[in-house]
Amino acid sequence: MAICIGSVAGTSLGFVAAQASTDAIVRFIQRTPNPTTPNGSFNTVSCISTTSCEAVGSNVNKQGATVTLAAVWNGTDWARQATPEPSGTIDGQLSSVSCVSATSCEAVGLYVKGSGPALTLAELWNGASWTIQTTPNPSRAISSSLDSVSCVSGTSCEAVGIYLKHVKGSLVQVTLAEMWNGTAWARQVTPNPTGATDSSLDGVSCVSTTSCEAVGDSYTKSSNVTVTLAEVWNGTAWGVQVTPSPSGAIYSSISGVSCVSAGSCEAVGYSTDSSGVAVTLAEVWNGAAWGVQVTPNPPGADTSLLSGVSCVRPTSCEAVGLHAKGSGVAVTLAEVWNGTAWSIQTTPKPTGATASGLSSVSCVSRTNCTAVGSYFNSSGLSVSLGEVWNGTSWGVQATPNPAGADTSSLHSVSCVSAGSCEAAGSYTDSSGVEVTLGEVWNGTAWGLQATPNPPGADTSNLHSVSCVSAASCEAVGSYTDSSGVEVTLGEVWNGTAWSVQTTSDVAGATASGLSSVSCVSAGSCEAVGSYTDSSGVEVTLGEVWNGTSWSIQTTPNAAGAETSSLHSVSCVSAGSCEAVGSYTDSSGVEVTLGEVWNGTSWSIQTTPNAAGADTSSLHSVSCVSAGSCEAVGSYTDSSGVEVTLGEVWNGTSWATKVTPNPPGATASGLSSVSCVGAGSCEAVGSYTNIPGVSGAGVTVTLAMANN
């Protein structure tokens, strides 16, 4: 069962990141995107690395209907994602999300059609879009909902919740569990405590396909007492476990749980005594029994509760929630477990906030946690909020957002000195239209710049920026024209103002976009991306800037390729550029792609793929000369494990390089590379370890140096 404190229930929170430059690393929290009406709510967050998080919830659209909401964090900013609604939905929400990779997330919740009952809802993220999955509902249920989900792989997830049914003329609430096997969701039998009038499962955490813990509460009418509830999945059946409730409590509930192994779980919630004061509650599972832990409450608080918990090891957990004092105004609450005791941490209050709360937390290490929730600003509007834990403190930092913007996002940055950087992206204005965004760094602070949008554009977005001086930058991306077709976009900065440039699109293309740009002078830039041709096939795209205009270049595609895309480009002169990406061959296998520009034409290069690789892709390239480039990415080996990939260009051919993978890593990948010399490069990415190495299945940052 859930608790609502003041006006915080039903609001949303955002996230935090780390931004790196050559001079320093700055940890900060950014304002996260908010729906076009100011009442959005993020219910939960799932992070697989410091640069990849998904948050889900709901918001009320312009027609007054409650609809599903999702946003993704890419290490720089949050971006809204489109989430579908079942046909005829008048009310929908996503309550929980669990990600096993950046391209595999499950979200669950509920939806209502017309005057019908609430029905279970599940949606799948495949790295490109969210799609609705078919979920079963108990027969003759009055209403059904899935409140929490936990995945151990793309083919194994558990979701729990509740449904209502009539029993002897009374409406009874009982537990619900469903399992995803990679193909379909199926309902599982869940027991309810003997004599319980109402029971619910609010949280679930799985460490394997045969080990899950689900938590919630149960109410017995005869005693008028609500007590904690825990159930365990052993791979075959769910079974009720004995859970203690604090002495003297008349209401006890645990809503969040996090397990690092089958023998180590933490669960959090709250309990209320006979005087009506709600206090924090935490319980620990040691593999044999659940036990109540002592949790502190802020001095003077009338109400305190913990709603979410995330553990990276048995001795390192973060829990979040909210508390309220005599005024009844809710404020954020965070507590840390060090293996011996829980202690309260200081969480900052957003400037001007009249009420705030944290609903969920996700940690990727002991020194990096993201918590989401929401706060009400001084105008009474509910806006998203994110807080980040850096191992020392929680912090909130505002970045500039256009006046009236509902969402803001920066996608790319280019610096020519420590005191001169340009960043480009997009934001959603007060009328709900996505438009371009530019910000400038002067060595002291970021400031907003006016960026134009093509006349008649429905949406506009800048994906990449490249500067050769403080007075000369090019930015590229895409926009949707008045006929609904996505086309390329280019803008130029002259040191005073941004202006739109005319970019070309291939005749017959149904969608076009530029993903990367590299300039060697104000009069020489290369941009790459992809477009969908008239037959529906995605193919490579290249355009060149000569100081006066953009023009399309012929970029080849591998023979028999089903799809092709260029992700990154690096130029050392107007006559020498390297671009990398990937394509899907005729057998449906994704393989690496490299193309070279010699000043006259692009040509495909032979790029190697690791022996036995199932999929391979190059994500980034950096060149220091025409005869020296490094490209990085990842591939899936014959055993199905994602590992790092590095390739080097020596002026004649590409060759794979041995790139190490952390011991015991279950997945590793490199996303970006930067070289300052032929023998000096840095590459960054992430990897997922195994239990007992540095936590339990935790995705952590990865960096490699080539010297």
pLDDT tens string 390-439 = 888 887 633 333 455 455 566 666 777 767 878 788 877 767 788 888 88
List the beta strands (DSSP E) in 574-666: 576-584, 590-597, 602-605, 615-625, 628-636, 642-649, 654-657
Q: Report which of 441, 463, 444, 460 is spatially closest to residue 452, judged by C-alpha positions.
A: 460
Percent helix, strand, coil in the chain, to 5, is: 0, 60, 40
Residue 350, in any domain of the structure: yes
**CATH number of the CATH domain containing 470:** 2.120.10.10
Distance CA 570, CA 96 (A): 40
**Cα–Cα separations (whole angstroms), residue 290 to 17, 243, 248, 467:** 35, 6, 18, 58
Establish if 331 belongs to a structural domain.
yes
**In this structure, what are the phi and psi dihedrals at residue 595, rounded to the nearest 5 degrees?**
-135, 145
> Are residues 348 and 448 both part of a single domain?
no
For residue 641, being part of any structural domain is answered with yes
CA 110 to chain centre: 21
Helix or strand holding residue 55 (H, E): strand 52-60
Do residue 617 and residue 547 come from a single domain?
A: no
What is the maximal distance between C-alpha atoms in the chain? 85
Element (H, E) at 165: strand 156-167
CB distance 306 to 335 below 8 Å: yes
Last residue of a domain, one of 553, 568, 598: 553
Assigned domain for 219 exists? yes
Let me know whether 511 and 639 are in one domain: no
Give the residue carrying structure tokens 């355009």: 543
The answer to whether 654 touches 615, Cβ cutoff 8 Å, is no
388 and 521 both lie in a single domain:
no
- The secondary element (H helix, E strand) that includes residue 701 is strand 699-706
- The closest of 79, 72, 127 to 642, measured between CA atoms, is 127
Residues 462 and 542 in one domain: yes
Q: Looking at the structure, do residues 347 and 447 belong to the same domain, yes or no?
A: no
The per-residue b/e assignment along 496-517, b for 16 or more CB within 10 angstroms, e otherwise, is: eebebbebbbeeebebbbbbbb
Check whether residue 125 and residue 209 sit in a common domain.
yes
Say yes or no: 269 and 337 in one domain.
yes
| Structural domain that includes position 36 | 15-395
User: Over the Cα atoms of the chain, what is R_g?
Assistant: 26
Do both 318 and 425 map to the same domain? Answer: no
- 265 in a structural domain: yes
Rounded Cα–Cα distance for residues 612 and 637 (Å): 6
Q: Are 351 and 440 members of one domain?
A: no
Q: Say which CATH number the domain at 128 has.
A: 2.130.10.10
> Would you give the distance in Å from CA 696 to the centre of its chain?
20
DSSP string, 196-261: -SEEEEEEEEEEETTEEEEEEEEEETTTTEEEEEEEEE-SS-EEEE-----TT-SEEEEEEEEEEE
- Average pLDDT of adjacent 10-residue blocks, the chain of 707 residues: 29 24 23 40 84 84 79 78 88 94 95 87 95 92 94 96 86 94 95 90 95 93 87 95 90 94 95 86 95 93 92 93 83 93 89 82 85 73 69 63 52 73 77 81 76 87 89 93 88 92 90 92 94 89 93 92 91 94 88 94 92 87 91 86 90 88 78 74 68 46 57
Which residue, 349, 366, 395, sits at the end of a domain? 395
Residue 271 host element (H or E): strand 264-272
Q: For residue 154, which phi and psi values (nearest 5 degrees)?
A: -65, -15
Looking at 273-390, which runs of residues are DSSP E strands? 278-285, 290-293, 303-313, 316-324, 330-337, 342-345, 355-365, 368-376, 382-389
Based on the domain organization, do 377 and 422 belong to the same domain?
Answer: no
Of 553, 570, 598, the residue that ends a domain is 553
Task: Please give the pLDDT value at position 473.
Answer: 93
Q: What is the dihedral of CA 59, 62, 65, 71, to 10 degrees?
A: -30
Query: Does residue 402 fall inside a structural domain?
Result: no
Q: What is the pTM of this model?
A: 0.55
Please tell me whether residues 615 and 693 are part of one structural domain: yes
pLDDT digit string, tens, across residues 286-311: 999 999 999 999 998 889 999 999 99
The string over 431-453, giving b where at least 16 C-beta atoms fall within 10 Å of a residue's C-beta and e elsewhere, is eeebbbbbbbbeeeeeebbebeb
- Which letter does DSSP use for residue 339 in this model? S
Q: Give the H or E element holding residue 532.
A: strand 524-532
Q: What is the pLDDT of residue 245?
A: 87
Question: Would 569 be classed as within a structural domain?
Answer: no
Number of domains in the chain: 3
| 441, two tokens | 């760094």
Q: How many Å apart are CA 529 and CA 569, to the nearest integer?
A: 9
CB atoms within 10 A of CB 551: 13
d(CA 587, CA 584) in angstroms, rounded, equals 8
Tokens (6 digits) for 516: 């990367």
390 within some domain? yes
